[in-house]
């Protein structure tokens, strides 16, 4: 019986996901790689976070989005699963907004981190 859990996300851009993990200081490895689980079970993932206890965390493409794949019984991160996903999702959204606005010719003119942890961005585009 598999101990792996798949947690759905709204993460669809691999580059933004990798940037988000790097922002958070998470040591990740690019895949495809195996996520190690209970009794030697493995799952393939595009991003793998190795844990010292030999039970990994991964982000695996399901055809629509990157799901978090892990044996949650052996979760050994500084944050809870929800706390981890909230932080990753916020940084992912930040990088996605920056990337998409740059593609449309905008630049960040102001950035402010609010007390509640949210980020306020002001972008602008000069036209001739």
pLDDT band at 121 (very low <50, low <70, confident <90, very high): confident
Q: For 28-79, what is each residue's pLDDT tens digit?
A: 999 899 999 988 889 999 999 999 998 999 999 999 999 999 998 888 888 9
> Which class for 97: exposed (0-12), middle (13-18), buried (19 or more C-beta within 10 A)?
middle
Distance, in Å, from the CA atom of 44 to the CA atom of 75, rounded to the nearest integer, reads 18
Distance, in Å, from the CA atom of 70 to the CA atom of 73, rounded to the nearest integer, reads 9
Instruction: Give, in order, the Cα–Cα distances in Å from 9 to each of 6, 40, 85.
Output: 10, 26, 8
DSSP class per residue in 102-128: HHTT-EEEEEEE-TTS-EEEEEE----
Domain that holds residue 85: 5-124
User: pTM for this one?
Assistant: 0.85
Distance, in Å, from the CA atom of 61 to the CA atom of 55, rounded to the nearest integer, reads 19
Q: Which of 31, 32, 39, 43 is nearest to 6 (CA)?
A: 43
How many independent structural domains does the chain possess? Answer: 1
> Are residues 8 and 83 in contact, defined by beta-carbon separation less than 8 angstroms?
no
């Amino acid at each position: 019986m598999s101990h792996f859990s798949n947690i759905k996300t709204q993460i669809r851009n691999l580059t933004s996901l990798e940037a988000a993990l790097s922002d958070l200081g998470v040591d990740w490895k690019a895949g495809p790689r195996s996520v190690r689980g209970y009794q030697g079970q493995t799952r393939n993932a595009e991003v793998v976070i190795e844990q010292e206890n030999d039970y990994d965390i991964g982000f695996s493409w399901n055809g629509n989005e990157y799901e978090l794949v892990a044996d949650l019984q052996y979760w050994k991160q500084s944050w809870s699963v929800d706390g981890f996903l909230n932080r990753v999702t916020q940084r992912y959204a930040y990088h996605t907004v920056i990337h998409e606005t740059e593609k449309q010719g905008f630049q960040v003119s102001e950035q402010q981190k609010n007390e509640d942890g949210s980020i306020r961005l002001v972008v602008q585009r000069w036209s001739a």
